[in-house]
Amino acid sequence: MQDLSGKVILITGASSGIGLATAHLVASRGAKVIINFHSNERAAMEAVQLIREKDGDAIAIQADVMKKEEVNSMVEQALSSFGTIDVLVNNAGGGITQSSFMDMSEELWEETFSLNVNSVLLCSQAVLKHMIPKKNGKIINVSSAAARIGGAGESIHYASTKGAVNTMTIGMSRELIEYGIIVNGVAPGMVETPFHEKFAPNDNRLERMASAVPIKRAAAPMEIAEVIAFLSSHASNYILGEIINVSGGR
Ligand code: NDP
């Protein structure tokens, strides 16, 4: 188990799924957590309360990661509350809705890139303004196994964004190590979160796809959180520019 005492970790999209599990896990290991949410304030506030009840420290901040001003304001609020940010987890994301390639609208394509790719740029730039002068920090980008397989049906837009996240992760790791900043990625396969209901309601996506995974089940969000916690910790300090697949052999 990695000790995260004293670290301040900002997790985007931490009101649900993988981000929420990561918030609880890193808080239980001593980190102070900034829980970013977009629409689900109740879940974010509940998480803050639960973490505080267990003697942890957390705050929730609303921001749309697609909007530069909101991202900058989130980072300012985080810094004024905790004084520093040691780790940024670029986790917020999703597929928005399914579409075949031929029916893909430019609007859906652009919105998916805004949510999954531009957000990584905006959040990373905002946090790096603080990390670069102190020459220390970690950034963890949440990608997807979809990047390697082109998407699991009517999701080329989503898979393409995660391909971009992988490329960004490698490029960022090479450019930012000069400032002592370590960048890595995590690529989950199928994870049991509300993501699938939002992306493809009534599709039984999880059950259908879990049988195609060698391990024959979807991951629990905590199984992804464990890898993010490892990448946040000193235990992973020599790992750089990797995208770690956590996909049950997919
Ligand atoms: P969830 O749908 O459970 O959670 C998504 C989170 O993103 C929520 O906290 C949501 O906030 C937040 N979010 C969405 N839009 C915005 C926005 N514009 N600004 C800020 N926050 C936003 O999904 P997962 O936990 O499953 O997904 C987390 C990450 O993992 C994503 O990047 C996803 O692509 C990736 N992933 C997921 C897989 C899976 O099988 N579940 C597989 C591979 C990768 P709110 O609810 O407050 O609006």
Q: Which residues line ligand 1 (CB under 6 A)?
A: 12-19, 36-40, 64-66, 91-94, 115, 142, 144, 188, 190-191, 193-195, 198
How many domains, in total, are found in the chain? 1
From first to last of its 250 residues, the chain has per-residue pLDDT tens of 689 999 999 999 999 999 999 999 999 999 999 999 999 999 999 999 999 999 999 999 999 999 999 999 999 999 999 999 999 999 999 999 999 999 999 999 999 999 999 999 999 999 999 999 999 999 999 999 999 999 988 999 999 999 999 999 999 999 999 999 999 999 999 999 999 888 878 777 778 888 889 999 999 999 999 999 999 999 999 999 999 999 999 8
Q: Domain with 42 in it: what CATH number? A: 3.40.50.720
The closest-lying atom of ligand 1 relative to the alpha carbon of residue 146 is 43
Cα–Cα dist 72/124, whole Å: 10
Cα–Cα dist 217/227, whole Å: 18
Instruction: Please report whether residue 107 resides in a domain.
Output: yes
| Distance from Cα 43 to the centre of ligand 1, integer Å | 13
158 is catalytic: yes
| Distance from Cα 178 to the centre of ligand 1, integer Å | 30
Instruction: Please report whether residue 221 resides in a domain.
Output: yes
pLDDT of residue 55: 95
Active-site pick, 158, 160, 185, 236: 158
pLDDT of residue 205: 76
With both helix axes pointing from N to C terminus, report the angle between 17-28 and 41-53 in degrees, rounded to the nearest 10.
20
Instruction: Please report whether residue 1 resides in a domain.
Output: no
| Distance from Cα 20 to the centre of ligand 1, integer Å | 10
Instruction: Please report whether residue 3 resides in a domain.
Output: no
pLDDT of residue 207: 80
**Main-chain dihedrals φ then ψ at residue 169, nearest 5 degrees:** -60, -45
Residue 139's identity, in one-letter code, is: I
Instruction: Please report whether residue 210 resides in a domain.
Output: yes
pLDDT of residue 206: 79
Structure tokens at 41: 């304030």
CA-nearest of 146, 21, 27 to 91 is 21
The neighbouring-strand residues paired with 186 are: 142, 244
Are residues 57 and 33 in contact, defined by beta-carbon separation less than 8 angstroms? yes
pLDDT of residue 211: 87
Instruction: Please report whether residue 2 resides in a domain.
Output: no
Instruction: Please report whether residue 242 resides in a domain.
Output: yes
Cα–Cα dist 185/142, whole Å: 6
Structural domain boundaries, residue 170: 8-246
Cα–Cα dist 218/241, whole Å: 26
Instruction: Please report whether residue 142 resides in a domain.
Output: yes
Are residues 44 and 37 in contact, defined by beta-carbon separation less than 8 angstroms? yes
